[in-house]
Amino acid sequence: MSELLTGAQILRRTLVDAGVDVMFGYPGGAIMPFYDALHGQKPRHILVRHEQAAAHAADGYARASNRVGVCVATSGPGATNLVTGLAAAYMDGSPVLAITGQVGRPMLGRDAFQETDVVGVTLPVTKYNVLVRDVEDLADDVREAMAIAMEGRPGPVLVDVPKDVQNQKAEYQVSGVWDLGSGKPRHQAPDTRHLEEAIQQTAQLIAQAERPLLMIGRGVIVSGAYAEVRELAERTGTPVITTLLGISAFPQAHDLHLGMPGMHGEVHINKAIQAADLIVGIGMRFDDRVTGNTATFAPRAKIVHIDVNPAAIGLNIPVAIGIVGDARRVVERLLQFVTPRNCLPWREEIRGLQHARNELFTGGLSPEVILSALADVTGGRCTVVSDVGQHQMWVAQRYPFQRPNTHITSGGLGAMGFAVPAAMGVRMARPDEPVWAISGDGGFQMNMAEIATMVQEGLEVKLAVFNNGYLGMVRQWQQFFHGGRYSNTPILSPDYVKLAEAYGIPGWRVKQASEVTDALRQANAAPGPALVELVIEQEANVFPMIVPGGSLSEPLEAAPV
């Protein structure tokens, strides 16, 4: 059955038929026909206060739901404002569909008002993008983009729709299939013989290793390989390290869980990496924040790298075995060959590397107190969306994540301003449990206008602001590596309690440890959004720390003299 519809109506129907139930956006001239088609119709549209927030919110929705998140903007500045959010999604493998309006086809290339080559601008930060040349292609272009966003390593895609295409009319055909037969290349089927051989060789290496480690990343979350990875760890007795984006892929209370590696990983974790004779990396990139100096990374270890993206295998670290495939499917197959063992001497050796760090927080609240209180108040039943900076590392080090995919952050791009809008997307994906956005005073101020979005759209997001009066992580680097010259890192904040009041939401300012639990409990129980400002020590630092470009064997556990 077909209907004669405008391009704008076709675009809306295509999204609805593909299962899209929410989108985040901001209207403007070149996308107005689409907004007219949305009037009073599904999908639900969330009106953000800035297009960057639309992209981050779509990203948060995608990460929390494992579905495509959708953001919408007009041409020119609307489209270019999406770029940071698309880059964040691209770096972290998050499936986001950006729909942008474009000037009419007769005006293309003529420097028309708000004309920008958004396809060219976003080429480096999308898996696929397309300028729709004719209304007859619109539905297929959107379906193709959504399929590509989800296949292989997920990522963002963009469909740029000229205004006159939105006004054209065409027959709309409902399609029940993703692969449109468009002639675009898909991932080739793996060489199963080679795959089988590589998996058996990996099982042999695990059986022979005396000091094995599993290092798992976001690929485990994307594939839902939680049970398989846990079974692999338990059957082989192998300790598990979770990268920043792999946090919450493995329960932190588990005896085999070690923690986060790399620049701000605990000393015993990095020492274990340096002593390991086998590292099996699953769904992670071996990026520089994990490895430190690649020339000195895991010098005794054979590396097995399992990833759905063939380009990632061996990109940063030479591998003994590279396996291209979905994490869950590969580990499922690996489980058929591994033999039970416990690795107790190795685990005892790692425990022997642990030591307590005496970090003093004399001038304000400690991250330990704040994050322990949040876990207690929520009973661990919340999703934490962290921004970028010192608080991000404290969350990664200290919050006790037990449930899958409950830690969401901007890892690869490290985009400040991510948490507040991304938490809105997470809340849309998870309406039945608390969502806490944890930000520093710098990152929070980048997108704090989205409080208005939360109020207008009824999004119950809880906001925690770590306020130290500095751009904390940059200040820490200035202290350590630039002679203590705090150049443009002191930052003024508004009165956050009054700000909350101005938006009509409750707000608390907390300065004492004795006040933390009560404020967080009240905020967590309040209907609608709520804000808690946490005044932390101004010059508190994140430890341990690996000097940029340094070896994992040489941690800083105190400020250099």
Among candidate residues 254, 236, 226, 227, the one with its CA nearest the CA of residue 304: 236
Section 369-387 average pLDDT: 96
- Residues 418 and 334 grouped into a single domain: no
- Residues 203 and 156 grouped into a single domain: no
Section 42-46 average pLDDT: 98
CB neighbour burial string for 225-264, b if at least 16 within 10 angstroms, e if fewer: bbebbbbbbeebbbbbbbbbbbbbbbbbeeebbbbbbbbb
Q: What is the reported pLDDT for 188?
A: 42
Report whether pLDDT(345) > 70: yes
- Residues 144 and 7 grouped into a single domain: yes
Q: What is the reported pLDDT for 159?
A: 98
Residue 145 lies in a domain: yes
Q: What is the reported pLDDT for 362?
A: 64
DSSP H or E stretch at residue 166: helix 163-167
More confident residue, 463 or 364: 463
Report whether pLDDT(364) > 90: no
Q: What is the reported pLDDT for 175?
A: 75
Residue 553 lies in a domain: no
The CATH number linked to 273 is 3.40.50.1220
Confidence category of residue 360, pLDDT binned at 50, 70, 90: low
Report whether pLDDT(239) > 80: yes
The CATH number linked to 119 is 3.40.50.970
Report whether pLDDT(187) > 70: no
Residue 178 lies in a domain: no
Rounded distance between C-alpha atoms, residue 519 and residue 531, angstroms: 9
CB 167 within 8 A of CB 37: no
Q: What is the reported pLDDT for 174?
A: 85
- Residues 153 and 47 grouped into a single domain: yes
SS3 50: coil
Q: What is the reported pLDDT for 185?
A: 36
- Residues 125 and 226 grouped into a single domain: no
Rounded distance between C-alpha atoms, residue 181 and residue 176, angstroms: 13
User: How far is CA 107 from each of CA 36, 121, 170, rounded to the nearest angstrom?
Assistant: 22, 18, 22
What contacts 452, CB < 8 A, 6 or more positions away?
Answer: 49, 503
Q: List pLDDT tens digits, range 470-519.
A: 999 999 999 999 999 999 999 999 999 999 999 999 999 999 999 999 99
Domain count along the chain:
3
Report whether pLDDT(28) > 50: yes
The angle formed by the CA atoms of residues 331, 326 and 87, to the nearest 5 degrees, is: 135
Section 381-386 average pLDDT: 97
Residue 254 lies in a domain: yes
Boundary of a domain, candidates 173, 201, 233: 173
Instruction: Tell me the average pLDDT of the chain.
Output: 94
- Residues 131 and 165 grouped into a single domain: yes
Q: What is the reported pLDDT for 558?
A: 87
Q: What is the reported pLDDT for 291?
A: 97
Note down the domain range covering 154: 2-173
| DSSP summary character for residue 188 | P
- Residues 371 and 447 grouped into a single domain: yes
Give the residue numbers marked as catalytic.
Answer: 51, 113-114, 163, 473
Rounded distance between C-alpha atoms, residue 409 and residue 393, angstroms: 10
- Residues 137 and 204 grouped into a single domain: no
Confidence category of residue 178, pLDDT binned at 50, 70, 90: very low
- Residues 380 and 310 grouped into a single domain: no
Section 255-273 average pLDDT: 97
More confident residue, 322 or 1: 322
What contacts 308, CB < 8 A, 6 or more positions away?
Answer: 152, 153, 219, 222, 223, 283, 324, 325, 326, 327
Boundary of a domain, candidates 353, 375, 400: 353
Q: What is the reported pLDDT for 471?
A: 98
Residue 181 lies in a domain: no
Q: List pLDDT tens digits, range 82-94.
A: 999 999 999 999 9
Confidence category of residue 176, pLDDT binned at 50, 70, 90: low
Report whether pLDDT(139) > 80: yes
Report whether pLDDT(390) > 60: yes
Q: What is the reported pLDDT for 1?
A: 62
Residue 180 lies in a domain: no
Section 62-70 average pLDDT: 97
Report whether pLDDT(191) > 60: no
Section 171-199 average pLDDT: 61
Residue 511 lies in a domain: yes
| Burial status of residue 380 (CB atoms within 10 A of its CB: 0-12, 13-18, 19 or more) | middle
Tokens for 55?
Answer: 């992209």
Report whether pLDDT(351) > 50: yes
Boundary of a domain, candidates 110, 139, 173: 173
Q: What is the reported pLDDT for 2?
A: 77
Q: What is the reported pLDDT for 179?
A: 39
Q: What is the reported pLDDT for 355?
A: 84
Residue 362 lies in a domain: no
- Residues 454 and 327 grouped into a single domain: no
Q: What percent of the chain has pLDDT over 70?
A: 95
Report whether pLDDT(404) > 80: yes
What contacts 91, CB < 8 A, 6 or more positions away?
Answer: 410, 411, 412, 413
The angle formed by the CA atoms of residues 37, 41 and 45, to the nearest 5 degrees, is: 90
- Residues 273 and 311 grouped into a single domain: yes
| Burial status of residue 391 (CB atoms within 10 A of its CB: 0-12, 13-18, 19 or more) | buried
Q: List pLDDT tens digits, range 202-232.
A: 999 999 999 999 999 999 999 999 999 999 9
- Residues 373 and 345 grouped into a single domain: no
Min mean pLDDT across 49-58, 217-226, 273-282, 550-559 is at 550-559
